[in-house]
Amino acid sequence: MPEDSRLSASKAARLVGNTGPQPLRRPVETPEQHEQPERRSGPGADGVWSDIELAELTTTDPETWAEFIRRRMSGDYQVDDFGFDPELTDRVLLGLVRPLYRSWFRVEVTGLENVPDDSGALIVANHSGVIAWDSLMTQVALHDEHPAHRHLRMLGANLVFSTPFLGELARKAGHTLACHPDAERLLTAGELVGVWPEGFKGIGKPFAQRYKLQRFGRGGFVTAALRTGAPIIPTAIVGAEETYPMIANSALLARVIGLPYFPITPTFPWLGPLGMVPLPSKWHIHFGEPIATDGYPEASADDPMVVFNLTDEVREQIQQTLYRLLVARPSAFG
Amino acid sequence: MKRTILVTGVSRYLGGRMAALLAADPAAEVIGVDVVAPQNPIPGVAFVRADIRNPVIAKVMGEARVDTVVHMGVIATPKQAGGRSTMKEINVIGTMQLLAACQRTPALKHLVVKSTAAVYGAGPRDPALFTEDMEPRHRPSSGWAKDSVEVEAYVRGFSRRRSDVTVATLRLANVIGPAVRTGMTEYLTLPVVPTVLGFDPRLQFVHEDDALAAIGRAVEVRAHGTVNVAGAGVVPLSQVLRILGRPGIAVPAGLVPYLGRAIASRGLADLSGEMIRLLTYGRALDTSAAAALLGFSPRWTSLAAVEDLAAARTDRSASPVGGPVREVRSA
């Protein structure tokens, strides 16, 4: 990635201003995109996914499914200590969001070579878009497009695990509570762990602040990475901000329902459930160059200054990548 | 060296089998204590009918020169005791009396306490696996779990005062198996099993044989410390019910306590406070410390323990007698 791509904040603000809803356009290939040396993946020109395993998972063969259902009903499967059900995730849960990934958001993925094949790493990304579709799309991207078909194990807020259905699904899909013991346990086991340090501040921010990273929590993820020596992979997601342009936040309704925010968008809550359909923005997920954490002295995880500096470094790298991707993108819906 | 071991709670299934197992060692003399006599005499065990709630226990211990106490007298459900206040008295006051007696017995060298994983509580802010040094994030507020937290506190106090005594506290996951009857097995074998709508808790089990083996190891190696004991892995409640072939019915969280009361009042199963929290949020333990402290790993995984319960249920329903049978058998 070119070093001179760092932009001033004022230029970035102008760029961000250009990303509002625009008429749908045919995708335009920009020269910048061709210059990027990163590994690209996804369906070829004919739209065919070459991968055999993936084809097996998305099969419509009734016998395979009958066998699958029979086994599920008799309880013949295994989940891990976190409640992760890989079979259910691969066959059903990912299958439910895959159409959104491929046809609706047409996610483009770059930088997959920065994600290790078989060791632990911490994926840290920007969070946006009212409903956390961005985390799900990242999970699909790493599973479907990474050569090692990696499962992303995300760390979620405790609100997720106290909410009926949501908590249950999150556990089955491999996610767990954002806390030190779980993060370190997963990283030590060589898993790919996903964190969205902006949390609700990120997905619940108004449209006017799109692509401006919010505060990065308390840097807990950096401590976990330092303790386990796992690299941090700063990840930028472009496109999620335009799925639900949040005009306002009704603090009163949020309090009544017990949610951190209550979004008002051009379509929600005016159109009811229809208003929950995300706008078909064009997405780009870029996995950035890993930041190593294994070179620090022993007690660095307990040194707040090291943790703050590293947190800032990760945040800055994501912010700069966001600006760079925004410059390269022809339009929000292209 | 000849050991004299006192086991509390021998009239119930696990306590009785534990006493019998310990008595199988010719170098051990075993005294069994409980408020009521066991249904069948336990071979090799001298039974003393004594209430651990009164000081008689100290006399028994002094006279017999007991060097090891295995405390299994903490009961889990009000039904077993005939009411919640009696249960609390047996659990907490009983433990205090027992520890007071232990403190006054100079010959005593080892104490093994059967505790429960319920001391960790259960809730949405829990880590995936609890290690022994973690504080509960949702402190248990009722029933057996709360009693056990208090029991452990008294045991820690005792350990400070008698630093010459090794104290092993075993936090057992829910014990299940072909013969044992616990609040959990009663719940799982209801004709229709109520579950909490929208939640599929991760559960962990320890097979009855492994529970006994773990306590036996703690006595044998004179272990000192607190360890989790659970079968490897976790099993979601939905999977447990599928393996057991039991129909589940999802009940909205707000209605579960009322349903629980209705079920408890009919004496079917104990579905109250902490049990409901467990069935909502689940709980799992990190069991790596047990291997180091006890030199023991459970033979049955959590999943295998459920399968064994399922196999036993199938056999039983096929037999002409049918229904759950409570049996105290010797090993």
pLDDT value, residue B284: 97
A181 to B284: CB separation less than 8 angstroms, yes or no: no
- Is residue B51 assigned to a domain? yes
B213 belongs to a structural domain: yes
Query: B328 in a domain, yes or no?
Result: no
Q: Is the pLDDT of residue B78 over 70?
A: yes
Q: Who among A79, A161, A165 is closest to B236 (CB)?
A: A79
Q: How many domains does chain A have?
A: 1
What length is written for chain B? 331
Q: How confident is the model at residue B80, as a pLDDT?
A: 76
Residue A42 has pLDDT above 60, yes or no: no
Whether residue A140 lies inside any domain: the answer is yes
Q: Answer whether A71's CB lies under 8 Å from A4's CB.
A: no
Q: Compute CA distances A234 → A195, A196, A205, A313, B245, whole Å.
A: 10, 10, 21, 9, 47
Distance of alpha carbon B145 from alpha carbon B142, whole angstroms: 6
Does B323 fall in a domain? no
Contact indicator for B102, B70 with CB cutoff of 8 Å: no
Domain residue limits at A192: 49-243+278-328
What is the pLDDT, as a whole number, of residue B222? 96
Q: Is residue B141 part of a domain?
A: yes
* Residue B240 sits at the chain A interface (C-beta within 8 Å): yes
Please check whether residue B331 lies inside any domain of the structure.
no
Asked if the structure places residue B325 within a domain, the reply is no
Record: contact B124-A165, CB cut-off 8 A: no
Task: Answer yes or no: is A195 within a domain.
Answer: yes
Domain range for residue B111?
3-318
CB B290 within 8 A of CB B209: no
The CATH number covering residue A105 comes to: 3.40.1130
ipTM of the complex, rounded to two decimals? 0.89
Q: DSSP for B212-227, please give it.
A: HHHHHHHHHTT--EEE
Q: Would residue A288 count as lying in a domain?
A: yes
Pick from A226, A237, A232: nearest CA to A305: A226
Which residues of chain B neighbour A179 with C-beta distances below 8 Å?
A: 125, 127
What's the CATH code of the domain at B98?
3.40.50.720
User: Is the pLDDT confidence value at B330 over 50?
Assistant: no
Whether residue B199 and residue A176 make contact (CB cut-off 8 A), yes or no, is no
Distance from CA of B40 to the nearest CA of A (A): 38
pLDDT of residue A131: 87
From A81, A163, A172, residue closest to B129, measured CB to CB: A81
Q: In what order do the strands lie in the sheet with A192-195?
A: A108-110, A284-287, A232-238, A121-125, A192-195, A152-156, A176-177
The answer to whether the CB atoms of A83 and B124 lie below 8 A apart is no
Residue A313 in domain: yes
Number of domains in chain B: 1
Kindly report which listed range (A98-102, A104-108, A122-126, B59-63) carries the lowest average pLDDT score: B59-63
Tokens of A124: 């840290």
Q: Is residue A238 in some structural domain?
A: yes
pLDDT mean over A264-287: 91
How many residues appear in chain A? 334
Segment A113-144, tens digit of pLDDT: 999 999 999 999 999 988 889 999 999 999 99
